[in-house]
Amino acid sequence: MTGNSPLLSVEGLTIDLPAQPGLVQDVSFEVGRGRSLALIGESGCGKTLTSMAILRLLPPGLTIAGGRIVFDGTDLLTCSPRELRAVRGGPVGVVFQEPMSSLDPTMTVGDQIAEARLLHLGERRSVALRRAEELLDRVGIPNAAQRVRSYPHELSGGMQQRVMIAAAIACDPKLVIADEPTTALDVTIQAEILGLLRDLQRDLDLAVLLVTHDLGVVADFCDDVVVMYAGHVVERASIDELFYSPGHPYSSALLASVPQSGSPRTRLAVIPGRVPPAGRFPAGCRFQPRCVHNRPEVCGRPQPDSVLAGAHRSRCGRVASGALTVEGVPRG
Ligand SMILES: Nc1ncnc2c1ncn2[C@@H]1O[C@H](COP(=O)(O)OP(=O)(O)OP(=O)(O)O)[C@@H](O)[C@H]1O
Ligand SMILES: [Mg+2]
- What is the domain partition of the chain in residue ranges? 8-222, 244-320
Q: What pLDDT was estimated at residue 329?
A: 78
Phi and psi torsions of 259, nearest 5°: -65, 140
CB 172 within 8 A of CB 135: no
Q: Which CATH class is domain 8-222?
A: alpha beta
Nearest CA to ligand 1 atom 30: 44
CB 192 within 8 A of CB 139: no
Ligand 1 lined by 49 (C-beta under 6 Å)? yes
Q: What pLDDT was estimated at residue 98?
A: 80
**DSSP helix/strand/coil, 59:** coil
Which of 218, 242, 288, 209 has its CA nearest to residue 27?
209
> Helices in 76-180 by DSSP H: which ranges?
81-87, 99-102, 109-121, 125-138, 144-147, 157-168
> Please, what is the end-to-end C-alpha distance for the chain in angstroms?
38
Ligand 1 center from residue 135 Cα (angstroms): 33
Site to probe by mutation for ligand 1, drawn from 24, 45, 51 as the one with most ligand atoms within 8 Å of Cβ, is 45
In whole angstroms, what is the distance from residue 86 CA to residue 119 CA? 9
CB 10 within 8 A of CB 30: yes
Q: What is the pLDDT of residues 5-41, one digit of tens each?
A: 899 999 999 999 988 899 999 999 999 999 999 999 9
**Angle, helices 157-168/187-204, rounded to nearest 10 degrees:** 20
Q: What pLDDT was estimated at residue 85?
A: 93
Q: What pLDDT was estimated at residue 64?
A: 97
For 155-182, letters b (16+ CB in 10 Å) and e give bebbbbbbbbbbbbbbbebbbbbbbbbb
- Using the atom order of ligand 1, give the atom closest to the CA of residue 97: 27
Ligand 2 center from residue 305 Cα (angstroms): 23
Per-residue H/E/C for 239-292: HHHHHHCCCCHHHHHHHHCCCCCCCCCCCCCCCCCCCCCCCCCCCCCCCHHHCC
Number of H helices, E strands in the chain: 13, 12
List, for the chain, all residue ranges whose pLDDT scores fall below the cut of 70.
1-3, 259-268, 330-332
CB 182 within 8 A of CB 193: yes
In whole angstroms, what is the distance from residue 172 CA to residue 228 CA? 29
Q: What pLDDT was estimated at residue 320?
A: 95
In whole angstroms, what is the distance from residue 35 CA to residue 223 CA? 6
